[in-house]
Structures are given as C-alpha cells and as structure tokens.
Structure 1
Amino acid sequence: MGEGTAGRHLHLTIGEAPTGYPHQRSVPRPQHQFHHEQQHCHQRLQQPGRALPPHLERHPTQEEFMDGRNARHQLPHPPRRKLHLPLPGEGPDRKLLLLSLHRNAPRRRRLRRPQSEQPPPHPRPLPRSRGRLHRSHRRLVQQGPQDPAAHLRHGSHPGASPNGVLINGESHRAGEADDGSRKPLFTMKPDKVYNYRICNVGLRNPLNFRIQDHPLKLVEMDGSHTVQNVYESLDIHVGQCFSVLVTANQPVKRYYMVASSRFTKYDLSAVALIAYEAAPAEAPSAELPPSPVGWAWSLNQFRSFRWNLTASAARPNPQGSYHYGGIEITRTIKIANTAGTVDGKLRYAVNGVSFVHPSDSTPLKLAEYYGVADKVFKYDVIGDEPPATDDRNNIKLDVVVINGTFRNFVEIVFENHEKGVQSWHVDGYSFFAVGMDVGKWSPKSRKNYNLLDAVSRHTIQVYPKSWSAILLTLDNAGMWNVRSNAWERHYLGQQFYISVVSPARSLRDEYSLPDISLRCGIIKDLPTPPPYTI
C-alpha cells in the first residue's frame, strides 16, 4: 500500500451448511485466562499453526497438552467440575478453522497479541487500522439424524451431502430478491487495500473463492508468507486458510464475493455482499465470475504457490546449512486411505487399519509418559508401506501409533486411491509441501520435488488417484495426531498418531505433565513420574 493508504484485516470463513451434523469442534473463548465449566463429554482445545514468530509461540509440550486431539490429553471432565487453564496470547491460529465459529461468532473476541518492541520486517505494508468483525449466523439444516455421531457408530453412511455454503454464517444467492437494502458484509473505501483471510471450515468439500472484478493477491497461507502472485480465484480445501490483498480500485458500487463447491456432482454456492463507501443501494450484477472446471486446474494452482524467502518468519535460514532441500531423508512413510466395512459397519482406514481409541480410555500420551504404553497399544501396527491391494473387506480395528525418531528428517507420502479429494492435517508441526502429482508415487517422483521454496504449512490436499508428498523434521517431542480433515472420515478411523520421544527427558524438548491434568484408565492411581530436568 502506498503512502496514506489505510486498510483493514478482515476475517472470512466459508464452509458447507451441515445436514444435521453437530459442531465440528468446540470453540474456546480466546482470552488470556478463561473459565470453562464442562457439562458434556470432552473439552477440546485447538493448537495454533506452528509457523509463528518466536515471541508468539508456546512451548511444544504446553501446546501439546492443551490440544484435546493430541492423544486425547483432555480427559472426560466430570459434570459440574470447573477447570481453569491459562491461554497466552497467540498469533494466527486454527481457532478460526472451526465450523462452530459460524454459530458462536457473536460471542467471539479478538485475541490480544503481545507486540515486540521492535517488530521484524513485514513482507507487505501494514494497514493503519484493524477491523474487528462479529459474525451472525443463519443455519441451514434439512431433515437429518438427531445424533450424527451415533448414526456413524451404528455403521450407517454419513447420509445426505451438505445442503449449502455459508459465508460468515450467512448464505445468499445472486439475483435473489434484493432491493438494495441488504447490509453489505464488508464496506471498502476507494483506492484502499484490504487484507481478507479466508478459511474453509466445512465438513467435507473444497471451495473456490472469488470476488467480482477484483483480483486476489495471495500473501499468506497456513501461517506462512507466500510469493505475492495474483489470482482470479483460489481453491481452498477443508482446513486451509489463505490471506489475500484486495485493492478497491473498481467503480464505486456493490459487488459479490462468491464461494462455490469443487469436485462434486452437485453444485453448491453462496454469495456475500461487499460495497464501496457511498455506493448506490443497488443490487450487484447477477453475472458471477465462473468457477474453474476440473482438478487439473487446482493442481497447477498448487504448483504456483511459493514461500516468500525474503519475509520474516519462524523458519530455518534459507541461506544457511539447514535448508530442507539439502537434508538427507532418513525415513519414508507412505499413507494410503481406504473406505470399507468392518462387521457390516462403515469404516475409514489408513494402510488397512482403522483407528480406534483404547478400550480402557487411557490417553496414549499419558500411557507413554507413565511408562505403560505396552499395556495400552503397540507401536507400528501399520508399516511404512500400504498393502499391495486395497481390500475393503479386510480392514482391521486398532490403535495406530507410528514410532518416530526424535529429530529425524521424514518424508510422508499421502496416496489417494479413491475418487474424492482428501485433505490431511498434521498436529504439532509445519511441513514442506514439496510435491503432488497423479498416479502412484515412486522414488523417481522426487526429481519433481520443489526443494527450494515450498510453502511451510500444516494441511495438504490429495487429488483423486494421486499423491502428495511432505517433508518435516520430527523435532517436536510428543504424541501428535495426523488425520483427515473430513469430519466423518477421522471420526470413523482415518487418523493415526506419531510418537516422538526425546531420549534426554529435558525441559528444552518437552514440559512435564501439568498438575491440573486429569488421570484415568490404568494410570489413574500410578505415582507421577519424575519431572523432566534441564
């Protein structure tokens, strides 16, 4: 932005309207200190993305124990029992990636972020003002199961597909009755630049985002600054967040921003109204920018994403000796997702095994921390290679924990043998999304990896009959969840854990178990292990 240019940071969440599904995740109140009285079964706290500046980043284990998905650290809370947890200020995080945000937006408060005395260089001029948006919600629900989780546990198919798209909790169609009195979602001043952060918090489908007559300059994804390429539209997969700069340099009137489903047999879309200041109260043109066709276009767009190596970020020095492109790979893990049945019930599997929690409810991390992991689960029940054939009728149920070696440099290849697009999330790490292509992966595929400026991120999509490859260093000790971002898939077993143990038992690598942690299962009455030392 030039001299005198003002702007605002504006958050935008898009996702499908569920047909009877529950909240995808619960939303904690993002404050320094919050008081939570648990009335239901579980409390789950989401971790932030790992690509944060050092002064905004929590210690790995503090982050791990506060994330309910990580080995179910947050045990079931007894009714009417109060729990106090400190939450430090955080930067951009995955709390925005919550479907529940659509329903709880009016109560949401902005995070208070600590500021360094001398902030590091920024890759783009900062707006002079910040916008804080409170979102309303209009829920679209058709006939559906009253308890979808029980519906899935009984072996039934997830049922009807999502029946609409929501933009910040609202769903409108272009051309519907509008006399110009509808209030715009955002208002822009002419010749100013605005930073929109778009998050796909849907249950299942990728969405394409675009704005009438306004190009999108991509500047950030999943917490990493990107090379500032300009796009007419962006495919945003489930669980992903993009930041774009939009310049208000078009005629002063009203425009539509559009979100539409991708790679589906049915077409779902929604529009939201944006307006220039002092624009006439007239409905925008009903002629919307077209959505791209096919997933080859989306694959090529992924290949255009590049990390901004000149921007400030918490990452290895690109000119130093520890650049990811020059590190020897010590282990390759291939992950293949399948869908099938077990005892006539629908299950989703990873390398032929569908994840289930231990029968005695002992959290995996606590079993390992107390030294009784062998009584709760076995390591490496899946191999580093998927089965030669996808046998839908031979899926096994088990606790899936991969034994990782601390500080090893690992290559994980996600293979998608199914017809739908997959989206994966890795807890506890940011990884380098280095490659993606059709067909099956082989060692020869590495010659097409981006080993210079792949974006550091925590979600990755896998197209039908294709593969995606990521590289990461297992330098964050803990028990970390790798899961499908599709709600029904990870609920029915498309997930696993990676155990990363620091042999030093040092506070430099991992905190000791917090005193407020609840104990259950076989470790409930065991003596607490000695704390970690420096």
Structure 2
Amino acid sequence: MGSLDHLTWSIVALLVVLLSRTNAEVINLRWVVAIDYTSGPSAYPQPIITINGGHPGPLINATTNDVVNVNVFNNLDEPLLFTWNGIQQRLNSWQDGVSGTNCAIQPNTNWTYSFVVKDQIGTHTYFPSINYHKLAGGFGPIRVNNRIVINVPFAKPEAEFDLLIGDWFFTDYKVIRSRLGASTEVPDIILINGKAPYGYSALKPYESVEVTKGKTYRFRVSNVGTTLSFNFRIQNHKMVVVETEGSYTNQITLDSLDVHVGQSYSVLVTADQEDADYYIVATPKLLNTTDDSPLVAKGVLHYTESGSPVSGSLPTGPDPWDIDFSVNQARSVRWNMTAGAARPNRQGSFNVTNVTLSETIILHGSHANISGSFRYTVNNVSYFTPNTPLKLADYYVNGSGVYQLGEFPTQSVKEDADYGVSVVSAIHKGWHEIIFQNDALMSMDSWHLDGFGFYVVGFGEGEWTVGSRDTYNLYDPVVRSTVQVYPGGWTAVYVFLDNPGMWNLRSQHLKRWYLGQELYVRVHDDDPNPAKENPPPENLLKCGMFGEPIAPGGAPEPQPGW
C-alpha cells in the first residue's frame, strides 16, 4: 500500500510533460512516524511524535511547480493524517490530509501523498491533523522557493533559518485529549525548534543560530503552537518583514513581530552588532510572564567571532495585553504590489479594488454546552465528523447520507447550539467576503482555509456591520492563508474560490478545532468547461460507507470522531 506504482501510465506521462515545461523536479520523501519518549524538552519521559527519529520533522524544500511525494509510514498506535498548512493543492483536495477529505492512515500501514506546489512560493508548515496529535509534535517546515526566472524583491541572503516556535504541554497528549472541557489549559513552556529556553536546563539543548558579522540572513518564523500567539524579537537587532505565507510584503522594519497560531513570516536580519551573543526571544500574548518563565522562549543568535555569552536583560517587547499595538502592526503588513512571486506577473496585477462579491459569509466562533459536553461552535453549530470523509461522499454519492447542503447558517447564529456536519456550498470562481467574529472576550483566535489565500481587508472591534466596510483596505491587502481574530472583534477577508474541491475552514487553535470549530467549503461547478479537480488518486484509501472500517480518533459519542 502507498506505492507510487499505483499511478497510471497516463498520469506519469502527464507529469513528465508538465515537468519538462516548467523545469520542475520530483521530490520523493520517506517518512517513518513513531513515538519517542526521550526527545522532549522535559527531563521526564513524554510521548513525542517524531519523523525519521527527529522532532521537529524534516524540512520540505521545494521550488514552485515541483511535485512532492511523501510516503508516510504510520508506526503510531492510532490512525494518522498530515495536512500541508498553506499549500494550496491546486485542483487536488484529495491530498489535503484532513478528516473531511481523507481516510486516515491506519497503524502499521503506509500511504503516499502526492501534490504539486503549483504557482506558489513562501514559508509554510505541515503537521498531523487528527487525534490531537499536533500537541505531541509531528510538525515541520516547508519552503517553496522561487523559480530562477522570477526576481525576488530583496538581495539573496547569506543563509536561511527555519524557526518553529510554539507553546507546549508536558502532559501526555492522550490524557489532555481525554479530559478536554470548559477549563482553560495553560501551556507549560514555549519551544524554539523543539528546544527548551536558554538556561532552562543544563541537560537539554537550547536553539542557537550562527551568523557572521556584516551578513544578512532570512529567518522563516512560524507559530506551530496550539494556543498562544507570541511576540518575536532579537536583542539589539532590527527585522525587515519581507514575506508571509507565500506573499511578498512591503518591507517594513520592526523591533518585534506578533505571530499568531498557524502563521508564518520571513524576516531579514543583518548581523550589524559587535561580535557577541544575543537573545532570540518569543513571549506570549494575553498572558503575564517574567523573563525567567519557561513560557518565554529564549534562543541565541551567535556571532562566529563571539567571545562572550548572552548577557543583559531580554529585549523589551510590547505589553502582551496591548491589542491596539497588535492590530496596528497587522494593518501595516501589506502586499508588495510591484513584486513578482510564483509568476512573472506583479502581485499588484491581482487586486480587490473593484471586485463584485458573490456572497458574504459571517462566522461566529464561540462555545456552548451541548447535551452535557463542552464544545466549540461556528454559528452555534459544532462540527461532528462523520465516519465517511465528505470528499469521498461528494464524489461517489453526491454527499447522500453524509451531509446536506443548505443546512448550515452562513449569516446568522442558530438559536440553540447543536452538532452538525457543516458544509457551505460556494460559488466556483466567485469572490466571497468572509467575516470571522470572535465571541470570546479574553482570548485570540486564528482561522485558516485550506486550498486558498485570504485577502485580509479589515480588522475591527465589536460586531461587524455593513458600515464596517468603510474601514477596509482594498488597495493592497496582504494575501495569506491564516488570519488572526482579536478578542471580541472581527476580521474581514476576501477570497476568490477558483480551486474546486472540498476545503477545510477551521480555527487553528487546536482545542477549538478538535471540539467543533470548523466547517467545509464545497467549491463546485457543474459546467464541464472550467478546469475541474483531479480525479481520485489510484492509491485512494476508502473507509466508512465504502466498505473499509474507520478507526475513530475521539472518545465515545458525542465526540469529534477524528
């Protein structure tokens, strides 16, 4: 199972033709996913999900239009899926790796993902998407580099570094999964590339990055956590923001940068200080900490000629409760309209100044008690995962018996909270306005849509109204795949749904996602003329109503089922 030999000769021939036209490559990867008890940041054993023995997982280093094949061997004791955060899977939601599109890879079996990083660049991540696995690791970095014929809007850096930063729990992920409820779980530590903060333990390594004085470096910074936003900074060094999740940005110089759950940025840092060592720091938002707290991530920027260790106080960041600072910074991150990206066309060739909206969708992220269970909801509907993935049901039986179009409220909130298989029917090649409303008054949220990038047009406080559109930036809104929503506020995005398929729209906060804050967007057109989604892969896994049993990932009903 999982062999690439299952591809038909016709598909192979098509790939050869496409590769010859684009000078793209085929990248073949073999991942063995297993549990290790010794690679965590704590001195005490903890189950860590490793890939080929490493945590975090290996870098996927691709170039625009490359074909990526990842043969995943599941050596865990429960089903597994990976999703590719920010990789748009053009015409191919079959490879998206979430519960609504794929049957899980069962224990002691393997399966091969195969996708093209079509017309993409940028900084992205991957992670396991079911069974609360992300809490235990399994995540890693993705780089999609420009083709050599595309000009990059900054000089080539001396080197690039991936910094995967995120909150972490010491408790076994299965234990946390089994006891999820209304109480707030505060993480135990924030890690950089799976490593504990500098000074935390003499027995555990910290992250150190080596630079040479006078050289400029690209840092790809990603929030791979499950709960906390953080503010990132480097002692005595400025950062120039140049890219986020596949979009080149106007180059702004910052002392510190807010990165929310699921987001990625590229910043340029010039080693322009005296030869020494300097702190790399990430501090949580909406949480009070002290410099010696394990919830303050600390690494080291080490100059090659340094003769002294890090010293002095940690670089000062913004007040973690200062929402205005964060909102104003978010509004300053704008699309570079003159840069090319995956294609020679300037990014500014594609804008939303005069688009005609096909539909407005308003989504309230909240929580509720449903039949005695604490759940998260979207418009008072908590997603309940069926045994048959929506994508299979959609393709083979037009969704019959699995989901029903038209039942999910897209502009209102149901009076009584309930479970539902939430699917929105969207207009293929239509411009959609999506309003994300965060009903929580003391916590952040992040939303992500697989298969697409958002044009982030606005942020605001309180309840969104039609009049809120007067505050939108329609000239140069940045395009990204994950967007934050501030406490008690709203975020507005535009999205052009030109990628047919069944696509997951979710909270990136793991607990919210696992307990029901998600839905699926069905992008379909019966007209045979537009480009259609790829047919099912030859190695398609089947489950649920299609004959092969699926092993649910949650506790007894009513639970998420993944």
What is the TM-score with the length of structure 2 in the denominator?
Answer: 0.77
The answer to whether the 8 Å contact 1:436/1:467 transfers is yes
Shift of 1:325: 1.6
Provide the rounded CA distance (Å) in 2 between the counterparts of 1:305 and 1:187.
28
Secondary structure, aligned partner of 1:120: coil
Matched, 1:44 2:81: yes
Provide the rounded CA distance (Å) in 1 between the counterparts of 2:311 and 2:348.
49
Matched, 1:362 2:399: no
The answer to whether the 8 Å contact 1:17/1:163 transfers is no
Partner of 1:454: 477
Q: Which moved more, 1:34-43 or 1:439-448?
A: 34-43
The answer to whether the 8 Å contact 2:289/2:296 transfers is no
Change (3 A) 1:121 1:144: closer
The answer to whether the 8 Å contact 2:436/2:491 transfers is yes
Provide the rounded CA distance (Å) in 1 between the counterparts of 2:304 and 2:58.
35
226, 231, 240: which is aligned to 2:249? Answer: 226
Matched, 1:94 2:124: yes
Matched, 1:120 2:150: yes
269, 282, 288: which is aligned to 2:315? Answer: 288
| Matched residue type, 1:336 | H
CA offsets per residue over residues 75-117 of structure 1, 9 Å max, x none?
Answer: 1344444434445578545335679699568xx7987x7874x
Change (3 A) 1:23 1:325: farther
Change (3 A) 1:349 1:305: same
Change (3 A) 1:24 1:481: farther
Change (3 A) 1:445 1:34: closer
The answer to whether the 8 Å contact 1:42/1:75 transfers is no
397, 405, 423: which is aligned to 1:401? Answer: 423
Gapped regions of structure 2 (runs ≥ 5): 1-39, 62-67, 549-562
Q: Which moved more, 1:407-416 or 1:29-38?
A: 29-38
| Matched residue type, 1:60 | L
Change (3 A) 1:492 1:23: farther
Partner of 1:270: 297
The answer to whether the 8 Å contact 1:184/1:273 transfers is yes
Q: Please give the residue correspondences for 1:109-508 in structure 2 after superposition, counting only pairs within 5 Å.
A: 116=147, 118-127=148-157, 129-130=158-159, 142=170, 146-152=174-180, 156-157=181-182, 160-172=185-197, 185-264=208-287, 268-293=295-320, 294-314=322-342, 323-358=351-386, 361-387=387-413, 394-419=416-441, 420-505=443-528, 508=531
The answer to whether the 8 Å contact 1:367/1:373 transfers is yes
| Matched residue type, 2:316 | P
Partner of 2:551: none
The answer to whether the 8 Å contact 1:75/1:519 transfers is yes
Q: What RMSD over aligned residues (CA atoms) do the two structures have, in Å? A: 3.6
Change (3 A) 1:202 1:243: same
The answer to whether the 8 Å contact 1:102/1:168 transfers is no
Provide the rounded CA distance (Å) in 1 between the counterparts of 2:445 and 2:127.
17
Provide the rounded CA distance (Å) in 1 between the counterparts of 2:282 and 2:234.
9
CA offsets per residue over residues 435-494 of structure 1, 9 Å max, x none?
Answer: 001111111111111111100101111111111000011111001011001111100000
Change (3 A) 1:158 1:66: farther
Provide the rounded CA distance (Å) in 1 between the counterparts of 2:171 and 2:83.
30
More strand by share: 2
The answer to whether the 8 Å contact 1:138/1:170 transfers is no
Change (3 A) 1:67 1:195: same
What is the TM-score with the length of structure 1 in the denominator?
Answer: 0.80
Provide the rounded CA distance (Å) in 1 between the counterparts of 2:215 and 2:58.
34
Higher relative CO (Cα under 8 Å, sequence separation at least 6) belongs to: 1
Partner of 2:17: none
CA offsets per residue over residues 333-385 of structure 1, 9 Å max, x none?
Answer: 10001112112211000001000012xx1110111111341321111322222
Provide the rounded CA distance (Å) in 2 between the counterparts of 1:109 and 1:473.
26
Shift of 1:291: 3.4
| Matched residue type, 1:413 | I
Partner of 1:8: none
Secondary structure, aligned partner of 1:47: strand
